[in-house]
Amino acid sequence: MDSRTRILKTIRHEAVDRVPISTYELCAFQPANFENQAPSYTALMNLIRESTDAITMWNPSSDQHMALSAHPAVVSEVVERRDGITIRRARLETPAGRTLTSTDQAYDDVHTVWHTEHWCKSSADVDALLSIPYTPVSYDFSELGAITNTMGNRGIVMTSLADPACTAMELMEFGAATVWAMTETDHFAAVMEELHRRTMQNLKCMLEGGVADLYRICGPEYLTPPYLPPAFFERFVVPYDAEMTELIHSCGGLVRVHSHGKIRRVVDLIRKIGADGLDPCEAPPDGDIELWELKQRLGSELCLFGNLQLKLLEHGSTDEVRAAVQGCMDAAKHGGGFVIMPTASPINVPLSPKTEENYRVFIESALTLGRY
């Protein structure tokens, strides 16, 4: 059975020959990604390309600028280099007459960006940002053909989407965002409604341009306990994400809900979204529900993706990795609907030999233990 068939059948709870193996953000068929450029990753990426089931993360380029809009905004930027760190300071002049600023930092040997200053520090800043008029976003799908041709039947393409919760909560520093949601709930609700309107229109435009195999909806985790009570998840995640899911399904795509952390108290609410899958299914102490229980409660309805912690692959022994793979298979393999996957991926360069070896053990163990 080829990887494309194996993944799609697994998501749909159909019989397959073995549990699919995903390496999450390590994408073997994205040549421009750092993991396919850094020499220390070469051997691991070759193994991933040859032995796993690719879920290639790809988003079409677009003319989106600020506030989910293609409308031009006046942004100035100053870039500073200091001791292997790139610091970007940006300034936005909003139509409301309010100036907003943000600062990002990126380290040369770590492939991520830290937002050290967010655009918004108050609800008044949010209003100023949303004073940018909404113009629907246009998308460019010209790269998709090359990716699918290169990948062939060795996997599927997954596009990542931000739901309104993701967009709203990332406007501010996270602590400030939770205070905003709790203490100015009516204002938060109005902002969420406007963000949902823009999100849905942009999603319609995206789907008119082309449809990926799978869509990962990011953002639900921001409204989970202990940050906010389940009532917020029910009010501000379920209806909006369900509408996104329904639209994607109507166009032939599949949907995977992405939610790190402690989801036990919102498991039944996740079901109401109507998605096809859930990731990354983190075990305690990072999460608060064991994989076997999640399988018992959701496994007949959602395909589960997880639940190997990256910190185990980076710091554990090979015996611990083998045991964790066995534990995942014991908990979720039966009955299908499970893709074994790390909960995150390494972002450091160079890749440590220990991490490389543990990935090798993970993949080889999963190939053996995942057979039906």
For 50, other C-beta atoms within 10 Å of its C-beta total 10
Strand partners, 218: 162, 258
Cβ atoms of residues 118 and 172 within 8 Å: yes
Q: What are the Cα distances from residue 268, in Å, to 129, 230, 234, 290?
A: 34, 10, 10, 15
The pLDDT score that the predictor gives to residue 353 is 98
Q: Give the closest residue to 258 by CA, choosing from 277, 242, 272, 243.
A: 277
Rg (CA), the chain: 21
Enter the tokens of residue 208: 């008119």
Q: Tens-of-pLDDT digits for all 372 residues of the chain?
A: 999 999 999 999 999 999 999 999 999 999 999 999 999 999 999 999 999 999 999 999 999 999 999 999 989 999 999 999 999 999 999 999 999 999 999 999 999 999 999 999 999 999 999 999 999 999 999 999 999 999 999 999 999 999 999 999 999 999 999 999 999 999 999 999 999 999 999 999 999 999 999 999 999 999 999 999 999 999 999 999 999 999 999 999 999 999 999 999 999 999 999 999 999 999 999 999 999 999 999 999 999 999 999 999 999 999 999 999 999 999 999 999 999 999 999 999 999 999 999 999 999 999 999 999
Only one residue has tokens 């010209």, namely: 142
**3-72+132-369 under CATH 3.20.20.210, yes or no:** yes
Check residue 155 and give left, alpha or beta (phi > 0: left; psi -120 to 50: alpha): left
* Cα–Cα dist 162/59, whole Å: 12
Q: Kindly tell me the burial class for residue 22, based on how many C-beta atoms sit within 10 Å of its own C-beta (0-12, 13-18, 19 or more).
A: buried
Strands 214-218 and 74-82: unpaired
The pLDDT score that the predictor gives to residue 211 is 95
Only one residue has tokens 């209003």, namely: 127
Q: Omega of the bond prior to 133 within 30 degrees of 0, cis?
A: no
Give the model confidence (pLDDT) of 111-167 as tens digits: 999 999 999 999 999 999 999 999 999 999 999 999 999 999 999 999 999 999 999
* Cα–Cα dist 88/102, whole Å: 8
Q: pTM for the complete prediction? A: 0.97
* Cα–Cα dist 89/76, whole Å: 8
